[in-house]
Structure 1
Amino acid sequence: MLKQGMARWLLLAFIIMVVDQATKLAIESAFEFGDVLPIFNGFNLVLTYNKGAAFSFLATAGGWQRHFFTLLALVVSVAIVAMLRKHHGETRFALALSLILGGAVGNLIDRLLYGHVIDFLDVYWGTSHWPAFNIADSAICVGAVLMVLDSFKKPADQTT
């Protein structure tokens, strides 16, 4: 049974996962691999696949990384749900966990279904391109930043 207040954080994670998957399916149906659609200077839509982790880390490792990152996403997701159960009343921390959970599950689905993660957001400056990414990656990064910010808060029982 869900603890009171925890459902909203799981709902947020679910919404992130759904938006992530919907955008990936839309790109997959509209693009061929490698297609690029310029949106404005500094931003393109592309269709590319990532067999590694963030920013193509270990993408050429030979195949074992798919299973490693799949297992890692499963373990992290279970750990996050356990942490949400304990910390669902801490808004910023719970928001961070929800963003990371939604992103992790979004990319996990790709790994399970396709053996790679679908990336489609391409940010660049001049001729230098940031590695392509997706909504799940964005949610994970925002969640990580929120966790860092949350780590600077004073404990409730500490006086100034």
Structure 2
Amino acid sequence: MRFALLFWAGFWAFLLDQASKSLVVHWMGLVRLREIDVLPPLLNFRYGENRGINFGLLDSGSEVARWALIGFSLAVCVAVFLWVLRQRAGRWMLLSAGLLIGGALGNVVDRLLYGYVLDFLNMSCCGLNNPFVFNLGDVFIFAGAAGLILFEGRSPQGKRKKAP
């Protein structure tokens, strides 16, 4: 029962990530149009195929790299799950772990289906042109990782654990 929050956070993060990619990339035709201005320059849809990790790093395009990144992502998901399982994780830590796992699994599914991660969100501001694209799974991974850092070591009641 304690891990229902982790499960549902992961489930909804995964579902929203995959639904947004399907809606924007396929249904709205971003795969064909390549760009759609939504609220320029703040929010734009730009088609991207990420074969590497964040910002296209380690983008060799090889099948070995693809499967290595799938394996790494799955290992991180298992490690995070086991970590919060052993912790006296409070609801915020469980929620954070669920977001991270759900976002990572959304990107794993992309790599399995397409061989790359579908990216489509692009944000720029204040005269700076951001060339990078990302997806909701990336947002959930970042938010989940930040939450795990912020809420680690807090008991379910929200108080810091005493050092042994």
Q: Same fold (TM over 0.5)?
A: yes
Deviation at 1:42, TM superposition (A): 2.0
Q: Is the 8 A contact 2:51 2:60 kept in 1?
A: yes
Residue in 1 that maps onto 2:36: 37
Deviation at 1:88, TM superposition (A): 6.4
Mean CA deviation greater in 145-154 or 33-42: 145-154
Deviation at 1:130, TM superposition (A): 4.9
Gaps of 5+ in 1: none
Relative distance call for 1:33 and 1:57 in structure 2 (3 A) is: farther
2:156 counterpart of 1:156: no
Gaps of 5+ in 2: none
RMSD (CA atoms): 2.1
**What is the total number of aligned residue pairs between the two structures?**
155
- What TM-score does the superposition give when structure 1 sets the normalisation length? 0.85
Deviation at 1:22, TM superposition (A): 0.6
Following TM superposition, the consecutive aligned residue runs of length 4 or more in structure 1 with deviations greater than 3 angstroms are 60-63, 151-155
- What is the rounded CA distance, in whole Å, between the counterparts of 2:13 and 2:32 in structure 1? 24
Secondary structure of the residue aligned to 1:66 is helix
Following superposition of structure 1 onto structure 2, how do residues 10-159 of structure 1 map, counting pairs within 5 Å?
A: 10-29=7-26, 30=28, 31-33=30-32, 35-40=34-39, 41-60=41-60, 62-87=62-87, 89-125=89-125, 126-151=127-152, 155-157=160-162
Q: Is the 8 A contact 1:51 1:116 kept in 2?
A: yes
- What is the rounded CA distance, in whole Å, between the counterparts of 1:19 and 1:88 in structure 2? 28
Q: Is the 8 A contact 2:13 2:103 kept in 1?
A: yes
Mean CA deviation greater in 6-15 or 88-97: 88-97
Identity of aligned pairs, percent? Answer: 27
Relative distance call for 1:24 and 1:65 in structure 2 (3 A) is: same
Deviation at 1:127, TM superposition (A): 4.9
Deviation at 1:47, TM superposition (A): 1.7
Q: Is the 8 A contact 2:153 2:160 kept in 1?
A: no
